[in-house]
Amino acid sequence: MLILPAMKAPIYSVRMHGCHRKSHLTGAERIVSAADLETVCAELLRRALDHERGRADAVRLSVDEIDPASVRRGRLPDLRTVPAADVREGRCEARRFLCRAGVSPEAADGAFAALSAGAAPGGGNMRGAMIVDADSGRRLEPDPARGVRASRMDLAPAARRCLVLELARVGLDNAHVREALVLAAKVLSAPGIVAELCWSDDPSYTAGYVAAPELGYVRFPHLKSRGGEHGGRAFFWRAGTVPLDATIAFLEKAVLLVDEIGRIEPPSTGV
C-alpha cells in the first residue's frame, strides 16, 4: 500500500513501452510502492506480450525512484457520455465540445483528419500525442513520430478501488476508461493545455473522448469504426501562459497521484 506524504519507503514510476516491428504497439504508466514493484512490472510485461494488435517483439520497462516530496495530488475529471448513433455523429458532437472548450474549428478539424489518417509521418500511429495549437491548428510537437507522452501518473490505491466500483456501477469498468481518466487528469492540469481529443488504436475499442477543464471527460461511444487501427491523441495548447517547453516538461516529468475520483454519470444509451 502506498503511504503519502510522510513516507520513508521509496516509490517508483514504472513505464512500459511495447513495439512490434519497430512500431509503437502499447504503453502504460504506473506509480507504485516497493512492495508492488515486481508484480506491476510483470503485469505490464504480460500486457505487452498479449496485446490485441499482436505480440510485442521488444518491450522496454523503465523503473525510476521518485522523490516523495515531488508528488502532486489530483482529482479525476467528471465523466459523462454523450450518445451518438455512429462515428459521423460522434465526431460531430466531439468537434462541438472541442469548440466549446475554446479550440478553433480549424484546429479541431485538423486533429480529426490527422488522427483518422494515422498521425505519424507515413500514416502510422504515434507513440505519444500531437500538440496542436488551439488557434491555428499547427502541429507543435518536436518529434511528429513519437509525439509527447504524458507520463508519471497513477491512481492512489484507495482511489483505484473506488473508481473500479463507480465505473462498474455504470457498466464502464475497463482499463481503457480507467487509464484514460488518469491520463486526462494529468493533461488537464498541465499549464497551457486547453483540451484533449482521443480515440484508441485498439481495433475493438470504438469509444473516445474530449476532455477540457470546464467540461470534464466527455465520452462518445463511437469515434472510430470497429476494426480501425488508427487512433491517437491531440493535446490542444494555447500560447500565452507558459512556453511550450514548460508544458511538455510538465506532461513528461511532473508526478501526479490521483487520490480523488470525479462524478461518474451513467450513459443513457449504448456504451
Position 250, amino acid = F
Per-residue binder mask for ligand AMP (CB under 6 A), 115-154, x = binder: ----------xx-xx-------------------xx----
User: Cβ-closest residue to ligand AMP?
Assistant: 200
Of 231, 234, 221, the C-alpha closest to 88 is 221
Residue whose CB is less far from ligand AMP, 135 or 202? 202
Residue whose CB is less far from ligand AMP, 34 or 121? 121
The residues near 249 (Cβ < 8 Å, ≥ 6 apart) are: none
Residue whose CB is less far from ligand AMP, 24 or 80? 24
Task: Enter the C-alpha cell of residue 136.
Answer: 491555428
Member of 231, 234, 248, 262 binding ligand AMP (CB under 6 A)? 231
Q: How far apart are CA 117 and CA 111, in angstroms?
A: 10
30 contributes a contact to ligand AMP by CB under 6 A: no
User: Reduced to 3 DSSP states, what percent helix, strand and coil does the chain have, rounded to the nearest 5?
Assistant: 30, 30, 40
Please choose, out of 32-40, 46-54, 87-95, 230-238, the segment that lies near ligand AMP by the rule CB under 6 A.
230-238
> For 26-38, what is the HEC assignment?
EEEEEEEEHHHHH
18 contributes a contact to ligand AMP by CB under 6 A: no
Decide: residue 245, CB within 10 A, 0-12 exposed, 13-18 middle, 19+ buried: exposed
**Rounded to the nearest whole angstrom, what is the least distance from the CB of residue 185 to ligand AMP in the complex?**
12
CA of residue 45 relative to chain centroid, distance: 19
Position 266, amino acid = P
**Rounded to the nearest whole angstrom, what is the least distance from the CB of residue 62 to ligand AMP in the complex?**
13
H-state helical runs in the chain:
37-49, 87-100, 105-117, 157-169, 175-188, 244-253
**Rounded to the nearest whole angstrom, what is the least distance from the CB of residue 183 to ligand AMP in the complex?**
5
Q: How far apart are CA 49 and CA 56, in angstroms?
A: 5
Member of 18, 27, 110, 192 binding ligand AMP (CB under 6 A)? 27
Per-residue binder mask for ligand AMP (CB under 6 A), 44-83, x = binder: ----------------------------------------
**Rounded to the nearest whole angstrom, what is the least distance from the CB of residue 222 to ligand AMP in the complex?**
15
Which residues within the stretch 188-217 sit at the binding site for ligand AMP (CB under 6 A)?
A: 198, 200-202
How many residues of this chain interact with ligand AMP, rule: CB under 6 A?
17
Residue whose CB is less far from ligand AMP, 146 or 238? 146
Decide: residue 247, CB within 10 A, 0-12 exposed, 13-18 middle, 19+ buried: buried
183 contributes a contact to ligand AMP by CB under 6 A: yes
Give the binding site for ligand AMP (CB under 6 A): 27, 29, 125-126, 128-129, 149-150, 180, 183, 198, 200-202, 231-233
